[in-house]
Amino acid sequence: MSELRYNVATRDWVVVAPERARRPEDFHAGRPITTADRPAHRADCPFCPGSEDHTPGETLRFCDAQGNWMVRSFPNRYPALTPESQEGRPKGNLFRRRRFGSGTHEVVAESPLHNTTLGLQSPAEIEQVLRAWRQRSQDLFHRPELEHLVVFKNHGLSAGCSQEHPHSQIIGLPVLPSSVRRRFDDAARFYQKNQGCVFCEMLRVEQEEAARVVVETYGFLAFVPFASDSPFSVWILPKRHSHCFALAETTEIRELAGVLKQVLARLYLALKDPDYNLIVHSANPPGPGSHFFHWYLSIVPRLSRMAGFELGTGMYIRSSPPEADAAYLRQVNLEALEGPKS
């Protein structure tokens, strides 16, 4: 029997309709070539070693003991936003613009290997990527013109990825997007009404019920939300209340790397290397929200499409219950994971 479920953190409703049933294994991406099957290096790839001059203006570099880079960041050659700004003259009270899309847009190359991804990398390698995200976030937060930062990763064509080489992106915005503002407002409203953080409450309930938990460690919980709007979506939350990812402690970054490895490796094996979006949801270090907001990572495999109902209502229909998704991911045998081929 179908039911409506409510996500208390996002205030969104979702339809869970198991009678439209698809078994978890029916969501396999079924792509003929997975990430690990690609060549380890491509001469025409601007992110592979040897092509560093194609990405000028490097902003960060982590190297191994031999001096070879392992993670590096640099400005996007085709940025969505650029540092220059010019405020346009409004027409009446309606039309306002910034002519050069003021902000910043960086790329983080996550590995020198062309044929890997976070789910195939070691926890130590993932830790370096997380450290790069944290450091660049800390650096960019010092720029007074930026109101919000978003760290995200697109994996696969249907997730919006245009470069095969493993990478993520950081965009700094001079405005606060309405969806982010709504998320903050909803968290603040819950805090004022209940004298507590809505995300901390979600953590408590998900730990107690355990049915939707995928991975749990001392400091983190990864779970399929009770009312997630997409199959196999996973949220990863720190158990320590903190509103800003950039303020994560080094021990937390190391532990998060292990959790992220487990979650993405399970998705890689269970769904045959699916396309996905990974987003770091975070507030600014000095801004409001330290009491009511709670940073987290969301991972959304691109397994379903919007149709008329979704476009008309803003609600999603999912045929696989979150509990079934979590159970399917928990039973994945991680020993079957094969790394990239050299």
What is the per-residue pLDDT across 134-158, written as a single tens digit (0 to 9) for each?
Answer: 999 999 988 888 889 999 999 998 8
Tokens of 221: 């919980």
Q: Is the pLDDT of residue 167 over 60?
A: yes
Q: Of the candidates 81, 74, 82, which has an alpha carbon nearest to the alpha carbon of residue 53?
A: 74
List CB contacts of 221: < 8 A, sequence separation 6 or more: 203, 206, 207, 213, 215, 236, 237, 239
Give the C-alpha separation, 139 to 84, whole Å: 18
Q: How much of the chain exceeds pLDDT 70, in percent?
A: 80
List CB contacts of 157: < 8 A, sequence separation 6 or more: 275
List CB contacts of 314: < 8 A, sequence separation 6 or more: 12
Q: Is the pLDDT of residue 13 over 70?
A: no
Whole-number pLDDT of residue 256:
98
What single string gives the DSSP state of each residue in 96-159? --BTT-BSEEEEEE--S-TT--TTTS-HHHHHHHHHHHHHHHHHHTT-TT--EEEEEEEESGGG
Q: Are 291 and 226 in contact (CB under 8 A)?
A: no
Q: What is the pLDDT of residues 63-118, one digit of tens each?
A: 999 999 999 999 988 777 777 655 554 555 666 655 555 788 999 999 999 999 99
Q: Quote the DSSP letter at residue 8.
A: T
Q: Is the pLDDT of residue 22 over 60?
A: no
Whole-number pLDDT of residue 339:
74
Count of CB atoms situated within 10 Å of the CB of 90: 10
Sorting pLDDT into bands at 50, 70 and 90, what band is 54?
confident
Sorting pLDDT into bands at 50, 70 and 90, what band is 2?
low
Whole-number pLDDT of residue 337:
85
Q: Of the candidates 86, 81, 87, which has an alpha carbon nearest to the alpha carbon of residue 101?
A: 81
**H or E stretch including 7?**
strand 3-7
Catalytic residue numbers, as ranges: 167
Q: Of the candidates 152, 297, 153, which has an alpha carbon nearest to the alpha carbon of residue 238?
A: 297
CA 289, 295, 300 angle in degrees (round to 5)?
135
Report the topology of domain 37-52+68-77+97-333: HIT family, subunit A (3.30.428)
Q: Quote the DSSP letter at residue 248.
A: -
Q: Is the pLDDT of residue 255 over 90?
A: yes
Whole-number pLDDT of residue 198:
95
Q: Is the pLDDT of residue 119 over 90?
A: yes
| Size of the chain, expressed as the number of residues it contains | 342
Q: What is the mean pLDDT of residues 29-48?
A: 86
Q: Are 268 and 215 in contact (CB under 8 A)?
A: no
